[in-house]
Amino acid sequence: MFSKAHVLLILLCSSLSVSSYANSKKPLAWQIKNKTWTKSYEKSYEEFIASIGKAKQAGVCHTTSDCIKSPVANPQFYNLNPDSLMDVFSDCADLPYILRAYFSWMNDLPFTYPVELTQAPLKTAEADALMKQLDDLYIQLDKAGMIKKQVIKRQIKELRKKIYGGSGVDIRYNSGGNKIVSKLYIKNGDNVNKVLVDVANAISTATFRTDAANNTTTKLFRDTYPVAITKAAIKPGTVLYDPNGHIAVVFDVTKNGKVHLIDAHPDNSLTAITYGEKFSQTNVEIGGGFSNWRPFNVETGEVQAATNEELPDYSLEQFERKKPFEFNNVQMSFHEYVRNKLSQGALIYYPVTELNELMEEICHDVKEREMAVNASLAAGIQNQNHPDVLPSNIYGTDGDWESYSSPSRDARLKASIREGRQLMQKIIQGHKDGDKNVQYEGTDLEGELQRTYEASASKCTIDVKKTSGGVQTLTLNTILKNIFKLSFDPYHCVELRWGLTDAESLKSCNQSKEKIEWYNAEQGLRNLIDRDYSVKMDYSLRELPSMPLSKTPEENISIVDVLN
pLDDT band at 11 (very low <50, low <70, confident <90, very high): very low
Q: How far apart are CA 30 and CA 23, in angstroms?
A: 18
For position 167, what pLDDT does the model report? 43
- Contact between 537 and 390 under an 8 Å Cβ cutoff? The reply is yes
Tell me which of 159-163, 390-394, 497-501, 555-559 is least confident.
159-163
For position 19, what pLDDT does the model report? 33
Domain ranges of the chain: 30-114+176-316, 121-164, 351-563
For position 564, what pLDDT does the model report? 59
- Contact between 287 and 212 under an 8 Å Cβ cutoff? The reply is yes
For position 1, what pLDDT does the model report? 46
For position 552, what pLDDT does the model report? 74
- Contact between 530 and 415 under an 8 Å Cβ cutoff? The reply is yes
117 pLDDT more than 60: yes
Q: C-alpha 217: how far from its chain's center?
A: 27
22 pLDDT more than 50: no
For position 231, what pLDDT does the model report? 95
How many percent of the chain have pLDDT more than 90? 63
pLDDT band at 189 (very low <50, low <70, confident <90, very high): very high
- For 322-336, write each residue's pLDDT tens digit: 667 889 888 888 999
Tell me which of 200-214, 252-266, 357-371, 536-550 is least confident.
536-550
User: How many CB atoms within 10 Å of residue 431?
Assistant: 16
For position 312, what pLDDT does the model report? 95
- DSSP H helices, 165-281, are 192-202
13 pLDDT more than 50: no
Selection from 377, 411, 378, 380 nearest residue 393 by Cα: 411
pLDDT band at 185 (very low <50, low <70, confident <90, very high): very high
pLDDT band at 10 (very low <50, low <70, confident <90, very high): very low
For position 16, what pLDDT does the model report? 39
379 pLDDT more than 70: yes
pLDDT band at 364 (very low <50, low <70, confident <90, very high): confident
Q: How far apart are CA 405 and CA 395, in angstroms?
A: 9
Tell me which of 47-51, 128-132, 226-230 is least confident.
128-132
530 pLDDT more than 60: yes
- For 121-176, write each residue's pLDDT tens digit: 655 555 667 767 777 777 777 777 766 777 777 777 666 666 554 444 578 777 77
- Average pLDDT of the residues of the chain: 87
Whole-model pTM over 0.85:
no
pLDDT band at 347 (very low <50, low <70, confident <90, very high): very high
For position 376, what pLDDT does the model report? 94
Q: How far apart are CA 71 and CA 122, in angstroms?
A: 49
> When comparing pLDDT for 319 and 487, which is higher?
487
Tell me which of 158-162, 280-284, 428-432 is least confident.
158-162
Q: How far apart are CA 428 and CA 452, in angstroms?
A: 14
Q: What's the 3-state SS for 328-385?
A: CCEEECHHHHHHHHHCCCCCCECHHHHHHHHHHHHHHHHHHHHHHHHHHHHCCHHHCC
3-state secondary structure of 393: coil
- DSSP H helices, 144-222, are 146-164, 192-202
Q: C-alpha 81: how far from its chain's center?
A: 26
pLDDT band at 398 (very low <50, low <70, confident <90, very high): confident
- For 444-468, write each residue's pLDDT tens digit: 999 999 999 999 999 999 999 999 9
Give the range with max mean pLDDT: 89-93, 258-262, 552-556: 258-262
For position 107, what pLDDT does the model report? 97
For position 147, what pLDDT does the model report? 65
Give the range with max mean pLDDT: 11-20, 25-34, 528-537: 25-34
CA distances from 454 to 173, 354, 447, 481 (A): 40, 15, 11, 13
